[in-house]
């Protein structure tokens, strides 16, 4: 994922488990199957000289942020993980979106998970 503009939904490609099909791999949107508290975690990996800023959004409201900065001048890849617990009603939608720009994220090494408690 390279040079994503501001407020672009991040679509995580490889699906390893999607019980109940709550995550739409085409749109990158998680839809709550029931009322409840949901736990979400996302990890982004970027490379030296790049950065990737994301946030988790519930119905157009920002809930939490993740800023991965590989601009430090090291030759290492950098990763960052954020988590959020969100009270949702059935059919509420959550997604990860960029804020600012998303310069570079390795899709195969970045991840998103969500489940009801």
**Helix, strand, or coil here: 109?**
helix
Average pLDDT of span 90-115:
87
What's the pLDDT tens digit per position in 36-88?
999 999 998 888 888 888 999 998 899 999 988 877 666 778 888 999 999 99
Domains within the chain, CATH numbers bracketed: 2-14+23-116 (2.60.120.40)
Residues 9 and 93: their CA atoms lie apart, in Å, by 12
Residue-wise DSSP of 9-33: BPPP---S--GGG-EETTTTEEE-S
What's the pLDDT tens digit per position in 9-28?
999 877 888 888 899 989 99
Of 114, 108, 77, the C-alpha closest to 14 is 108
Question: What pLDDT shows up at residue 72?
Answer: 64
């Amino acid at each position: 994922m390279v040079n994503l503009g501001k407020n672009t939904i991040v679509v995580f490609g490889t699906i390893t488990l999607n019980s109940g099909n709550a995550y739409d791999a085409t749109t990158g949107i998680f839809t709550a199957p029931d009322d409840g508290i949901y736990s979400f975690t996302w990890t982004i990996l970027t490379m030296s000289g790049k950065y990737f800023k994301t946030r988790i959004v519930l119905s157009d409201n920002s809930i939490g942020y993740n800023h991965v900065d590989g601009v430090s001048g090291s030759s290492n890849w950098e990763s960052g993980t954020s988590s959020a617990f969100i009270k949702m009603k059935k059919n509420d939608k959550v997604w990860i979106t960029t804020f600012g720009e998303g310069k570079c994220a390795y899709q195969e090494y970045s991840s998103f998970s969500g489940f009801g408690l």
